[in-house]
Amino acid sequence: MRLFVTRRLPQRVMERARDMGADLHDSDEVLDADALRAALRDYDAILCTIGDRFDADLFATDVRTKLLANFGVGYNHIDVEAARAAGVTVTNTPGVLTDATADLAMTLMLMVLRRAGEGERMVRAGDWSGWTPTQMLGRGVTGRTLGIVGMGRIGQAMAARAHHGFGMEIVYYNRSAKDLPFPARRLDTVEAVAAGSDVVALHVPAGPETRHIFGAHAIASMRPEGVLVNTARGDVLDETALIAALQEGRIGGAGLDVYENEPTVPNALRALENVVLLPHLGSATLEVREAMGMMALDNVAAHVEGRDLPNPV
């Protein structure tokens, strides 16, 4: 069984992969289409991750690979239908990054409402001339309404934190109703969630059905002080419409961990004070990244041993 790992992963994961006989691309450099096509031709299993674009045309030629074990819960960089048609199964790493990602969404919400990014920039720049009673007044969190778009694992973890930790009211949009362990009101449309929330947090997976699910209309429905938080994927949000709303002062602010064209972050966003911008840190703790890697390798091991795959998508 020939296994290929497309990117440098935490050391423990690399060691296990090496013990499994893997060839490692031990680098942060993202492989291009030709390199991925060659991997599909030469390897039985590939451990891949975000940035590795497995578009449909890659599956059109000579494919030896039977398993794409994705490091990450989101797999919108893989054309899963085309993979399936070529006999390639895709697995992902759900669950292990839920808390970490919800923690990061909370971080963004708190930073925007309490103007933490602005404050930090001011102190670092040496521009803080001292405390004043009216300096950099933000907004409190307790008692405000949080709107969740996508009440899956991460949406629920975010809502639970907001409800139990901060006394927030929860409303949500989800395709199906959920039996939830905290009080929450399901609304019919994304726009209704936008209109009924002080903070909207996006937690839907990316894919053709959710592209720009939070679009210009939803953004226009937000409250004048409303804050948008996105830790899901850049393309579930209409970034251009968001920038326009922020520039025109139609909404209160935004906290973003993901972007439509990563790693490009539009200058227009970087120029705005009421926006907190993070570099896709959702699952970025060592223990979570190790757990993701081990889970991806568990799927490889199951494939090798002919067992049911633990995490097929």
Long-range contacts made by residues 238-241, C-beta under 8 angstroms, separation at least 24?
238/212, 238/214, 239/266, 239/269, 241/215, 241/216
Q: Which residue has the tokens 């690979």?
A: 65
Q: Which is nearer to ligand 8YV, 75 or 172 (CB)?
A: 75
Rounded least distance, CB 74 to ligand 8YV, Å: 3
Q: Chain centroid to CA 27: how far?
A: 22
Side chain identity at residue 222, one-letter code: M
Provide, rounded to whole angstroms, the least separation between the CB of residue 204 and ligand 8YV. 12
Q: Name the active-site residue from 144, 161, 203, 280.
A: 280
225: amino acid identity, one letter: E
Q: What residue is closest to ligand 8YV based on CB?
A: 72
Contacts of 276 (CB under 8 A, 6+ apart): 108, 111, 112, 116, 117, 253, 254, 255, 256
Q: Residue 40 or residue 50: which is nearer to ligand 8YV going by CB?
A: 50
Closest to ligand 8YV by CB, 52 or 198: 52
Cα 193 from Cα 191, distance rounded (Å)? 5
**Shortest spacing between CB 76 and ligand 8YV, in angstroms:** 8
Helix (H) or strand (E) holding 14: helix 11-19
Phi (first) and psi of residue 198, to 5 degrees? -85, -35
The reply to whether 233 belongs to the active site is yes
Minimum gap (Å) between residue 54 Cβ and ligand 8YV: 13
Which of 203, 233, 289, 303 is flagged as catalytic? Answer: 233
Nearest 10 degrees: Cα torsion 276, 280, 283, 286: -100
Annotated active-site residue 12? The verdict is: no
Backbone angles phi, psi at 192, to 5 degrees: -65, -35
- Catalytic residue (choose from 15, 29, 209, 262): 262
Nearer to ligand 8YV, 74 or 252 (CB): 74
Contact in structure between 144 and 198 (CB atoms under 8 Å)? yes
Ramachandran category for residue 186: left, alpha or beta (phi over 0 → left; psi -120 to 50 → alpha): beta
Burial code (b: 16+ CB inside 10 Å, e: under 16) for 132-159 equals eeeeeebeebeebbbbbbbbbbbbbbbb
* Distance of closest approach, residue 77 Cβ to ligand 8YV, in angstroms: 8
Could you give the CA distance from residue 203 to residue 102 in angstroms, rounded to a whole number? 9
Q: Is residue 250 annotated as a catalytic residue, yes or no? A: no
Nearer to ligand 8YV, 48 or 146 (CB): 48
Indicate the residue among 70 and 89 with the shorter CB distance to ligand 8YV. Answer: 70
Query: Which H or E run includes 301?
Result: helix 286-305
Work out how close the CB of 142 gets to ligand 8YV at its nearest, in angstroms, rounded to a whole number: 28
List residues near ligand 8YV by CB under 6 A.
49-50, 71-74, 97, 282-283
Residues designated catalytic: 233, 262, 280
